Structure 1
Amino acid sequence: MKFPQFKRRLASEHLELTAFLKKLDDIVPEEMPELVAEEDKKAWAETDCLSCANCCKTMTPTFTKEDIIRISAHLQMTPKEFKAKWLYKEPDAGDWVNVTQPCQFLQADNKCSIYEVRPVDCAEFPHHHKKPFDNYNDTFIQNLAYCPATYNLVRRLKNRVEREYEW
């Protein structure tokens, strides 16, 4: 799914997908892990991250101390130099995040120039693998607006749960 098409579809479905995830906080089908695994596989078959890269264009990962050490070494910089050049510390949360958006490591072909050493937050995005799935509904509600894979997964789960379960 191309990003403009995703944004149009999301605009018409965002409220109902959000409501589904909120309801999923209270009512969780017993087979939820299996449903998520099956529908996630299908969602990724419909999603091409390299044609989108919206996460890299509009969001910033949180850089852990280990991320900063690993990435700065890869770039042949000290962690202090790396932070001074690319990051700032959020005043409220105290997290290290990118100064700029899109991400400074995003290339014109939507590939990451530090992919092999990217932040753990990037490697785990959009967090579909986290368990139990329903503990991360707030994360998925946020990611609906940014990630076609999350949109595809939540839409598929909603359709399947409403079809197969008393909801």
Structure 2
Amino acid sequence: MDLSKFKIKAARKKKALSAFLLKLDDIVPHDMPELVAKVDATVWQDTNCTACANCCKTMTPTYLQADIDRISAHLGMPSATFIDQWLKKEEGSEDWVNTTQPCQFLVNDMCSIYDVRPADCAEFPHHDKKPFDAYNETFTNNLMHCPATFTLVERLKKVVEREYEWL
């Protein structure tokens, strides 16, 4: 994955793809869940997250208490120590997030705690959230970080504009 080329392409197309997602807030194809599943399947034929790790380099997950407890136990430390060493409260939301970027657990572009990673990481990039259009803001935010999300939205836009009544 050439992240420098991805960043250029994403920056060039972000406005149009964001406008498409915003329009999906008002106009949702009747078969959107099936359409998303079909297009998303093509995305994963062309995308390998383990060859990218851009999310780990440029974003932070939200840690639930269950994540903190599970990861700290895996690391053999008390939850309070884990929090003191690696996390901070995010301004505005008060969610637990990483204190550093890239993620402290990213080692040689691989997650060193993959089996116990936060739920937010395990669910990323959230393409299977339903209804899809309820997560348009999430997908808009992820366009610049996740090649899989960028590709999904780009392909959805082409299909919807070609095959649906799209005013």
Shorter-chain TM band: over 0.9
Aligned equivalents of 2:160, 2:92: Cα separation in 1: 38
* 1:12-68 per-position Cα deviation (integer Å, ceiling 9, x unaligned): 211110000000000000011111001101111111212211100011101000000
Alignment of 1:47-62 (within 5 A): 47-62=47-62
* 1:107 Cα deviation after fit: 0.8
TM-score (norm 2): 0.96
Alignment of 1:120-159 (within 5 A): 120-159=119-158
Task: Kindly report the root-mean-square deviation, in angstroms, between the aligned alpha carbons of the 2 structures.
Answer: 1.0
* 1:136 Cα deviation after fit: 0.3
1:40 matched residue in structure 2: 40
Aligned equivalents of 1:11, 1:46: Cα separation in 2: 20
Aligned equivalents of 2:91, 2:161: Cα separation in 1: 42
Question: SS of the residue aligned with 2:88?
Answer: strand
* 1:7 Cα deviation after fit: 1.5
2:82 matched residue in structure 1: 82
Alignment of 1:87-126 (within 5 A): 87-108=87-108, 110-126=109-125
Residue 155 of structure 2 aligns with an amino acid whose one-letter code is R
Contact 1:55 1:146 in 2 (8 A): yes
* 1:8 Cα deviation after fit: 2.0
Aligned equivalents of 2:2, 2:35: Cα separation in 1: 25
* 1:77 Cα deviation after fit: 0.3
Contact 1:2 1:51 in 2 (8 A): no
Residue 53 of structure 1 aligns with an amino acid whose one-letter code is A
Aligned equivalents of 1:9, 1:85: Cα separation in 2: 36
Residue 112 of structure 2 aligns with an amino acid whose one-letter code is S
How many pairs align?
166
Aligned equivalents of 1:157, 1:133: Cα separation in 2: 12
Identical-pair percentage: 62
Contact 1:40 1:128 in 2 (8 A): yes
Question: SS of the residue aligned with 1:88?
Answer: strand
Instruction: Give the unaligned 5+ runs of structure 1.
Output: none
2:19 matched residue in structure 1: 19
* 1:121 Cα deviation after fit: 0.5
Contact 1:14 1:144 in 2 (8 A): yes
* 1:103 Cα deviation after fit: 0.4
* 1:91 Cα deviation after fit: 3.7
Aligned equivalents of 2:49, 2:102: Cα separation in 1: 15
2:30 matched residue in structure 1: 30
Residue 160 of structure 1 aligns with an amino acid whose one-letter code is V
Residue 152 of structure 2 aligns with an amino acid whose one-letter code is L
* 1:89 Cα deviation after fit: 1.4
